[in-house]
A and B are shown apart, each in its own frame.
Chain A
């Protein structure tokens, strides 16, 4: 069974540009979660999608947005990039309900 896949692995952008990160969940998982892990910090919850709908959003500005497609894959968009957006962005998927998450390997975004 394929795990959660994220692309690209690394992304370098200039301040003010837009970044698009992609995530494919494990087959059958309908929930996708996005987290930001800045250097030296823990995981900060960004967004939760389930069945194509945004279910919950963390304490991040509106320039962080995303969507979930009919095949349950997901996209995270970050507009007007700032230097502080440099971080490892992790995507996870799970069954809906009381289950653990399966994480992808992450996209390391560097804003210069």
Chain B
């Protein structure tokens, strides 16, 4: 069963705009991670945020975590055509090492 649920399922934006996607999860977590997948290939790890952290930045990426609401958001600023991909959130539960993935958000950046 899926732990995380991303919203929206699909997003289409113009190059240069910001893209925001959200992830909600059900049970307590140790950390939450975001991954990118291009055209049905392998996933690429983007960023990890621990349960005691509220915000994290990496380049054009900004991730927030609200454990009281069991939700996270991923913001991609100044989007580029190369950002076109599916984005997945994944959660690691306390005492567990496997990741549970959501169904993903498909982002299309139009030139």
Taking Cβ atoms with an 8 Å cutoff, the residues of A that contact B are 4, 31, 33, 35, 37, 41-43, 45, 48, 50, 55-56, 59, 88, 90, 92, 94, 96-106, 108
Q: Is the interface of A mostly helix, strand, loop or mixed?
A: strand
B40 nearest CB neighbor, chain A only? A88
Q: B59 near A: Cβ within 8 Å?
A: no
Contact B42–A42 (Cβ < 8 Å): no
List, in ascending order, chain B residues with CB within 8 A of A103's CB.
35, 42-45
Contact B104–A98 (Cβ < 8 Å): no
Q: Tell me, in angstroms, the Cα distance from A26 to B92 when the chains sit together.
A: 21
Q: B99 near A: Cβ within 8 Å?
A: yes
Contact A104–B42 (Cβ < 8 Å): yes
Contact A100–B2 (Cβ < 8 Å): no
Contact of A43 among B31, B33, B101 (CB under 8 A): B101
List, in ascending order, chain A residues with CB within 8 A of B2's CB.
42
List, in ascending order, chain A residues with CB within 8 A of B71's CB.
none
B21-55 contact mask (Cβ, 8 Å, vs A): 1 or 0: 00000000011010100001111110010100000
